[in-house]
Structure 1
Amino acid sequence: MVLKLHGLSVSTNTARVVACLHEKDVDFELVRVDLFARGNKEPSFLAKNPFGQIPVLEDGDITLFESRAITSYVAEKFKETGTDLIRHESFDEAALVKVWTEVESQQYHPAICPIIYEFFGKPVQGLEPDQAVIDANLEKLEKVLNVYEAKLSSTKYLAGDFYSLADLHHFPYTFYFMKTAWGSAISDRPHVKAWWDDITSRPALKKVAEGMTFGENQ
């Protein structure tokens, strides 16, 4: 049975799951949810995710939401195919993957998400971006990236010398961030820049990037 992923290719959280599915060589159907028509608030969708957010994954009898939970499920269920994103054969390496996936969700994401929303999200709604919010979160992001620069000076990827979910989870928001005027926060840190160049050269992520066209008229 082919997996069904309900979402939008331009969506950061959908892109996170799509990237994982491509890395694992898993066939899936992307079912478009029209957010502008409030398709995510329709009863049929709310039955899948009561919070009315994308993406949602349907795999037979199981329905999942929350993009990071979905990627973990996919990486574990299909651990024998594609890229080993969870390092299932090494307890120590798997533990480090979990640490750095937590770092992404608890440290990196809270800093970068408001920047992307202000720059890309507000104009779509006819609102003016709040530069004070952007500046405050850029300061937070710079501090996180300083930690990354130090870590990536000793390992090729965040959890070690192997690509994992920890790296993949950073892709969608960073991809859009690099389209803003503040991409130097990445490019001015040589080890972070090398890491970013490396992961964005991966065929799976190149494929995902093709659908991430949100804000191209900015």
Structure 2
Amino acid sequence: MKLLLVEDDPSMQATLQRTLSRRGMEVTACADGRLALERWRTGAPDVVLLDLTLPGLDGLQVLEQARRAGMQTPVLILTARGTVGDRVIGLNTGADDYLPKPFDLDELEARLRALHRRRPPSGDQAPSYSVGALRYDRDSGAIYHGDQVLELTPRELALLQALMARPGHAVSKERLFELVFPGEADVQYEAVEVVVYRLRKKLADTGVTLMTLRGLGYLLKTSG
């Protein structure tokens, strides 16, 4: 598991890098927001562990620019900002998980590994495919509308990938839950509906409709 650790506190960075390396992770650490973006682009990490308070660019700016560029690596935000408002902002910007300081190292490791399980093995990536004007690009991991990258959170991306792999066929809520929320036993099945709702709004002008088939699940349908 390749981890990009973005933390500007030298003591915290050293502790996390040493501890997570001992637990079998390949850790690349940096302390600056702009450098983090560059390492993210070139290093192809499996998971990003991102602090919010950074020099150069803060963590939310790093996350926003990465998502806009089509980088869909799962992200766990690690910060002393523990308010509900900060958590909502982070998740809406495209984070997958959020752990306030202070934290338990065992819990941190468990959350990182849960995020890592969302990524397919390198030799078992999904093929590139298209539905209407939407195109999934295997090499970048992004979904395009025409030549524009769709700005999706990793959960929205996972759900849309699953539906694009079976165009015109319904995918059950249970199957989507397994793909979008792997290993997250404390999340209810209804959470899939929230992701569907947000994704449906983002598909509004693409010519592709996300339909609900009661009792069967969800499917993609092209107009015309």
**Pair in the same fold by TM > 0.5:** no
TM-score (norm 1): 0.31
RCO (CA 8 Å, sep 6+): is it higher in 1 or 2? Answer: 1
